[in-house]
Amino acid sequence: MKHLIGVYDYTVVLTYLSLFSAVIGQIQAGKGHLGFAVACVAFSGLCDAFDGAVARTKKDRTEDEKSFGIQLDSLCDVICFGVLPAYICCAMGVRGVLGVALMFFYTACAVARLAFFNVLETKRQQAEGGKNKFYRGLPVTSISIILPVFYLLGELIPQSKFVVVLYIMLAVVGFLFVLDFRVRKPDWDRVLKLSHQ
């Protein structure tokens, strides 16, 4: 597709699928189907876990294609793991001035972490290439596990207490996004290779 701006091949399919899931999740959350919306966050996380491994199977990617993949992934992650979880929390009862402040804080931390990742990853790719083995800060995709766990927890405690838990979750997870500590990345390339054996 030489006459279109962007990259359109199998290396970015999972990233677009993750974004599609997030859009469906927003629609479902707006309709009050919160379980479905939370499942969409989890599915986006699953797609994101393997999109880099799939992209690296194409050995003749140009530097522009690699850079495009990094930028596209982060932009989609803003929606999938920044905006959508905050929107779902709002639908679950996070409201008022404090609620809006915490939803903004959470989303702003997700955006800041992703922007910082792009800066670091671009420099790292230029210097050494290959795959990064560590995250700095809690990866934003971790919300695809955290939010479903909290959603299930909400089935066990009263709504009034559950909303308080959501407030705390937004504050703590947002802070961990921007706290500078190292987390080892799962080796999804190895998982992908084993699945083909």
pLDDT at 112 over 70: yes
Pairing verdict, β 134-136 and 182-184? antiparallel
Mean pLDDT value across residues 187-196: 57
Q: What are phi and psi of 139, to 5 degrees?
A: -65, 140
CA distances 119 to 91, 122, 128, 136, 182, Å, are 33, 5, 14, 12, 16
pLDDT for the residue 57: 84
What six digits make up the tokens of 130? 């290959």
pLDDT for the residue 130: 59
Mean pLDDT value across residues 7-22: 92
Angle of helix 34-55 relative to helix 84-91, nearest 10 degrees? 170
pLDDT band per the 50, 70, 90 thresholds, residue 70 = confident
The residue ranking higher by pLDDT, 11 or 34, is 34
* pTM, entire model: 0.86
**Structural domains of the chain, with CATH:** 10-192 (1.20.120)
